[in-house]
Amino acid sequence: MAAYKVEICGVNTSKLPLLTAAEKEELIRKVKEGDARAREKYIKGNLRLVLSVVQRFSGSGENLDDLFQIGCVGLIKAIDNFDLGQNVKFSTYAVPMIIGEIRRFLRDNSQIRVSRSLRDTAYKAIYAKEKLMKERQKEPTINEIASEIGVEKEDIVYALDAIQSPVSLYEPVYSDGGDTLYVMDQISDSKNVEENWVSNLALRDAMSRLTDREKEIIRLRFFSGKTQMEVADEIHISQAQVSRLEKNALKSMRNYLS
Protein backbone atom coordinates (compact mmCIF):
# COMPACT_ATOMS: atom_id res chain seq x y z
CA MET A 1 0.00 0.00 0.00
CA ALA A 2 1.34 3.45 -0.90
CA ALA A 3 0.91 4.75 2.66
CA TYR A 4 3.60 2.37 3.90
CA LYS A 5 6.37 3.30 1.46
CA VAL A 6 9.86 3.22 2.96
CA GLU A 7 11.10 6.20 0.95
CA ILE A 8 9.12 9.42 0.78
CA CYS A 9 10.46 12.55 -0.87
CA GLY A 10 13.94 11.05 -0.79
CA VAL A 11 13.71 10.29 2.95
CA ASN A 12 14.17 6.66 4.03
CA THR A 13 11.54 6.50 6.75
CA SER A 14 12.94 3.23 8.13
CA LYS A 15 16.15 5.06 9.07
CA LEU A 16 14.60 8.08 10.75
CA PRO A 17 16.06 8.73 14.23
CA LEU A 18 14.08 7.74 17.29
CA LEU A 19 14.48 10.41 19.96
CA THR A 20 13.81 9.84 23.61
CA ALA A 21 11.58 12.24 25.51
CA ALA A 22 14.64 13.72 27.20
CA GLU A 23 16.42 14.23 23.87
CA LYS A 24 13.36 15.93 22.40
CA GLU A 25 13.09 18.24 25.39
CA GLU A 26 16.75 19.20 25.17
CA LEU A 27 16.63 19.71 21.39
CA ILE A 28 13.52 21.91 21.39
CA ARG A 29 15.14 24.06 24.07
CA LYS A 30 18.20 24.50 21.83
CA VAL A 31 15.96 25.17 18.82
CA LYS A 32 14.32 28.03 20.69
CA GLU A 33 17.78 29.40 21.46
CA GLY A 34 18.54 29.50 17.71
CA ASP A 35 20.63 26.34 17.33
CA ALA A 36 20.36 25.44 13.61
CA ARG A 37 21.82 21.93 14.01
CA ALA A 38 19.41 21.15 16.81
CA ARG A 39 16.56 22.39 14.63
CA GLU A 40 17.52 20.08 11.78
CA LYS A 41 17.85 17.10 14.11
CA TYR A 42 14.54 17.91 15.79
CA ILE A 43 12.76 18.09 12.43
CA LYS A 44 14.19 14.72 11.37
CA GLY A 45 13.30 13.27 14.75
CA ASN A 46 9.65 14.20 14.20
CA LEU A 47 9.23 13.08 10.59
CA ARG A 48 7.66 9.84 11.85
CA LEU A 49 4.97 12.03 13.39
CA VAL A 50 4.32 13.58 9.96
CA LEU A 51 4.18 10.12 8.38
CA SER A 52 1.64 8.89 10.93
CA VAL A 53 -0.59 11.89 10.14
CA VAL A 54 -0.20 11.46 6.38
CA GLN A 55 -1.39 7.85 6.63
CA ARG A 56 -4.77 9.17 7.81
CA PHE A 57 -5.18 10.79 4.39
CA SER A 58 -4.06 7.79 2.33
CA GLY A 59 -7.57 7.47 0.83
CA SER A 60 -7.66 11.06 -0.42
CA GLY A 61 -6.26 10.17 -3.84
CA GLU A 62 -3.41 12.66 -3.51
CA ASN A 63 0.22 11.68 -4.08
CA LEU A 64 1.75 10.56 -0.78
CA ASP A 65 4.98 12.46 -1.46
CA ASP A 66 2.99 15.69 -1.90
CA LEU A 67 1.10 15.15 1.36
CA PHE A 68 4.34 14.34 3.19
CA GLN A 69 5.91 17.58 1.99
CA ILE A 70 2.84 19.57 3.05
CA GLY A 71 2.88 17.80 6.40
CA CYS A 72 6.53 18.79 6.86
CA VAL A 73 5.52 22.42 6.31
CA GLY A 74 2.99 22.00 9.12
CA LEU A 75 5.67 20.42 11.32
CA ILE A 76 8.08 23.31 10.78
CA LYS A 77 5.33 25.83 11.53
CA ALA A 78 4.58 23.93 14.73
CA ILE A 79 8.26 24.01 15.75
CA ASP A 80 8.48 27.75 15.06
CA ASN A 81 5.34 28.54 17.03
CA PHE A 82 5.69 26.07 19.90
CA ASP A 83 5.75 27.72 23.31
CA LEU A 84 7.85 25.91 25.91
CA GLY A 85 5.96 27.65 28.70
CA GLN A 86 2.59 26.09 27.82
CA ASN A 87 3.40 22.77 29.56
CA VAL A 88 2.07 20.65 26.66
CA LYS A 89 3.78 17.86 24.70
CA PHE A 90 5.08 18.97 21.32
CA SER A 91 3.29 16.15 19.51
CA THR A 92 -0.02 17.23 21.04
CA TYR A 93 0.57 20.73 19.67
CA ALA A 94 2.03 19.67 16.31
CA VAL A 95 -0.50 17.08 15.12
CA PRO A 96 -3.41 19.56 14.69
CA MET A 97 -1.09 21.94 12.81
CA ILE A 98 0.11 19.19 10.48
CA ILE A 99 -3.46 18.02 9.87
CA GLY A 100 -4.59 21.60 9.25
CA GLU A 101 -1.85 22.18 6.68
CA ILE A 102 -2.76 18.98 4.80
CA ARG A 103 -6.48 19.77 4.90
CA ARG A 104 -5.87 23.22 3.47
CA PHE A 105 -3.89 21.64 0.64
CA LEU A 106 -6.65 19.10 -0.04
CA ARG A 107 -9.32 21.79 0.09
CA ASP A 108 -7.48 23.94 -2.44
CA ASN A 109 -6.73 21.05 -4.78
CA SER A 110 -9.64 18.64 -4.45
CA GLN A 111 -12.32 20.22 -6.66
CA ILE A 112 -10.67 19.04 -9.84
CA ARG A 113 -7.83 16.53 -9.91
CA VAL A 114 -5.04 17.82 -12.10
CA SER A 115 -1.97 15.67 -12.66
CA ARG A 116 1.47 17.07 -11.88
CA SER A 117 2.51 16.83 -15.54
CA LEU A 118 -0.51 18.89 -16.60
CA ARG A 119 0.21 21.52 -13.97
CA ASP A 120 3.86 21.65 -15.06
CA THR A 121 2.84 22.13 -18.70
CA ALA A 122 0.39 24.85 -17.77
CA TYR A 123 2.91 26.77 -15.65
CA LYS A 124 5.58 26.47 -18.34
CA ALA A 125 3.10 27.87 -20.86
CA ILE A 126 2.20 30.77 -18.58
CA TYR A 127 5.88 31.56 -17.96
CA ALA A 128 6.64 31.36 -21.69
CA LYS A 129 3.72 33.64 -22.49
CA GLU A 130 4.97 36.30 -20.07
CA LYS A 131 8.51 35.97 -21.45
CA LEU A 132 7.39 36.33 -25.07
CA MET A 133 5.15 39.29 -24.26
CA LYS A 134 8.10 41.13 -22.71
CA GLU A 135 10.33 40.34 -25.67
CA ARG A 136 7.84 41.13 -28.46
CA GLN A 137 5.51 43.62 -26.75
CA LYS A 138 2.46 41.70 -27.93
CA GLU A 139 0.52 38.66 -26.80
CA PRO A 140 1.95 35.46 -28.33
CA THR A 141 -0.18 32.88 -30.12
CA ILE A 142 -0.62 29.32 -28.86
CA ASN A 143 1.62 28.16 -31.71
CA GLU A 144 4.39 30.52 -30.57
CA ILE A 145 4.08 29.35 -26.96
CA ALA A 146 4.11 25.72 -28.11
CA SER A 147 7.27 26.34 -30.12
CA GLU A 148 8.91 28.10 -27.17
CA ILE A 149 8.45 25.22 -24.70
CA GLY A 150 8.44 22.34 -27.19
CA VAL A 151 4.93 21.09 -26.40
CA GLU A 152 2.04 20.39 -28.75
CA LYS A 153 -0.44 23.27 -28.86
CA GLU A 154 -3.33 20.91 -28.08
CA ASP A 155 -1.56 19.82 -24.88
CA ILE A 156 -1.08 23.45 -23.84
CA VAL A 157 -4.76 24.28 -24.33
CA TYR A 158 -5.77 21.19 -22.37
CA ALA A 159 -3.33 21.94 -19.54
CA LEU A 160 -4.37 25.60 -19.22
CA ASP A 161 -8.03 24.59 -19.21
CA ALA A 162 -7.38 21.94 -16.54
CA ILE A 163 -5.98 24.41 -13.98
CA GLN A 164 -8.85 26.87 -14.31
CA SER A 165 -10.91 27.26 -11.14
CA PRO A 166 -14.47 25.93 -11.43
CA VAL A 167 -17.29 28.47 -11.28
CA SER A 168 -20.58 27.85 -9.51
CA LEU A 169 -23.72 27.99 -11.65
CA TYR A 170 -25.13 30.23 -8.94
CA GLU A 171 -22.28 32.75 -9.07
CA PRO A 172 -23.73 36.19 -9.87
CA VAL A 173 -22.70 37.80 -13.15
CA TYR A 174 -24.18 41.23 -12.52
CA SER A 175 -27.20 42.85 -10.97
CA ASP A 176 -29.61 45.09 -12.87
CA GLY A 177 -32.43 46.85 -11.07
CA GLY A 178 -32.24 44.53 -8.08
CA ASP A 179 -32.52 41.32 -10.17
CA THR A 180 -29.31 39.34 -9.99
CA LEU A 181 -28.32 37.40 -13.11
CA TYR A 182 -26.40 34.19 -12.50
CA VAL A 183 -23.99 32.07 -14.53
CA MET A 184 -26.73 29.46 -15.04
CA ASP A 185 -28.81 32.14 -16.81
CA GLN A 186 -26.11 32.38 -19.48
CA ILE A 187 -25.95 28.66 -20.25
CA SER A 188 -27.93 26.88 -22.94
CA ASP A 189 -29.48 23.52 -22.05
CA SER A 190 -29.75 21.14 -24.99
CA LYS A 191 -31.11 18.31 -22.81
CA ASN A 192 -34.23 19.97 -21.49
CA VAL A 193 -35.95 19.96 -24.85
CA GLU A 194 -39.69 19.86 -25.27
CA GLU A 195 -40.18 16.11 -25.60
CA ASN A 196 -38.57 15.48 -22.21
CA TRP A 197 -41.24 17.14 -20.11
CA VAL A 198 -43.92 18.96 -22.11
CA SER A 199 -46.02 15.79 -21.96
CA ASN A 200 -46.67 16.48 -18.29
CA LEU A 201 -50.30 17.62 -18.32
CA ALA A 202 -50.14 19.31 -14.94
CA LEU A 203 -47.24 21.40 -16.16
CA ARG A 204 -49.13 22.35 -19.30
CA ASP A 205 -52.09 23.36 -17.18
CA ALA A 206 -49.84 25.52 -15.00
CA MET A 207 -48.40 27.19 -18.09
CA SER A 208 -51.87 27.94 -19.44
CA ARG A 209 -52.33 30.38 -16.56
CA LEU A 210 -49.35 32.50 -17.61
CA THR A 211 -49.46 35.58 -19.79
CA ASP A 212 -48.52 35.13 -23.44
CA ARG A 213 -45.12 36.74 -22.90
CA GLU A 214 -44.41 34.58 -19.85
CA LYS A 215 -45.36 31.46 -21.81
CA GLU A 216 -43.02 32.44 -24.60
CA ILE A 217 -40.14 33.03 -22.21
CA ILE A 218 -40.67 29.69 -20.45
CA ARG A 219 -40.92 27.90 -23.81
CA LEU A 220 -37.71 29.46 -25.12
CA ARG A 221 -35.79 29.04 -21.86
CA PHE A 222 -36.78 25.51 -20.86
CA PHE A 223 -38.20 23.83 -23.95
CA SER A 224 -35.72 25.26 -26.46
CA GLY A 225 -32.84 25.58 -23.97
CA LYS A 226 -31.94 29.19 -24.80
CA THR A 227 -30.07 31.61 -22.57
CA GLN A 228 -31.73 34.70 -21.16
CA MET A 229 -29.67 36.82 -23.53
CA GLU A 230 -30.86 34.80 -26.52
CA VAL A 231 -34.47 35.08 -25.34
CA ALA A 232 -34.07 38.83 -24.87
CA ASP A 233 -32.77 39.21 -28.42
CA GLU A 234 -35.60 37.13 -29.84
CA ILE A 235 -38.50 38.91 -28.14
CA HIS A 236 -36.81 42.35 -28.14
CA ILE A 237 -36.67 43.17 -24.43
CA SER A 238 -33.76 43.49 -21.99
CA GLN A 239 -32.19 40.51 -20.27
CA ALA A 240 -33.18 42.00 -16.91
CA GLN A 241 -36.81 42.03 -18.04
CA VAL A 242 -36.52 38.41 -19.16
CA SER A 243 -35.12 37.53 -15.74
CA ARG A 244 -37.98 39.23 -13.90
CA LEU A 245 -40.69 37.71 -16.10
CA GLU A 246 -39.11 34.27 -15.87
CA LYS A 247 -38.99 34.41 -12.08
CA ASN A 248 -42.61 35.57 -11.88
CA ALA A 249 -43.72 32.81 -14.25
CA LEU A 250 -41.88 30.09 -12.37
CA LYS A 251 -43.28 31.35 -9.06
CA SER A 252 -46.82 31.26 -10.45
CA MET A 253 -46.32 27.74 -11.80
CA ARG A 254 -44.86 26.50 -8.52
CA ASN A 255 -47.77 27.96 -6.58
CA TYR A 256 -50.26 26.26 -8.90
CA LEU A 257 -48.50 22.88 -8.89
CA SER A 258 -48.13 22.88 -5.10
Q: Please give the Cα distance from 239 to 250 (Å, whole number).
A: 16
Three-class SS of residue 157?
Answer: helix
**Which long-range contacts link 117-123 to residues 24+ away (Cβ below 8 Å)?**
118/158, 118/159, 118/162, 118/163, 119/159, 119/162, 119/163, 121/149, 121/151, 121/155, 121/156, 121/159, 122/156, 122/159, 122/160, 122/162, 122/163
- For residue range 169-198, list pLDDT tens digits in order: 545 554 445 555 555 555 555 444 444 434
Using an 8 Å Cβ cutoff, are 134 and 148 in contact?
Answer: no
pLDDT at 194: 41
Name beta bridge partners: 7: 12
Q: Are 125 and 149 in contact (CB under 8 A)?
A: yes
Q: How confident is the model at residue 76 (pLDDT cuts 50, 70, 90)?
A: very high
Neighbours of 173 (CB within 10 A): 13
Task: Please tell me the pTM assigned to this model.
Answer: 0.41
Alpha-carbon Rg for the chain in angstroms: 29
CA–centroid distance for 2 within its chain: 24
Yes or no: say if 245 and 217 are a contact pair by the CB < 8 Å rule: yes
HEC profile of 51-120: HHHHHHHHHHCCCHHHHHHHHHHHHHHHHHHCCHHHCCCHHHHHHHHHHHHHHHHHHHHCCCCCCHHHHH
Q: Note the pLDDT of residue 195.
A: 42
Residue 178's SS3 state is coil
CA distance 75 to 51: 11
DSSP alpha helices (H): ranges in 116-238? 116-136, 142-149, 153-162, 194-197, 201-207, 212-218, 228-235
> Which of 45-54, 117-126, 183-192, 198-207 has maximum average pLDDT?
45-54
pLDDT higher than threshold 90 for residue 30? yes
How large is the average pLDDT for residues 208-234? 86
Residue 10 DSSP code = T
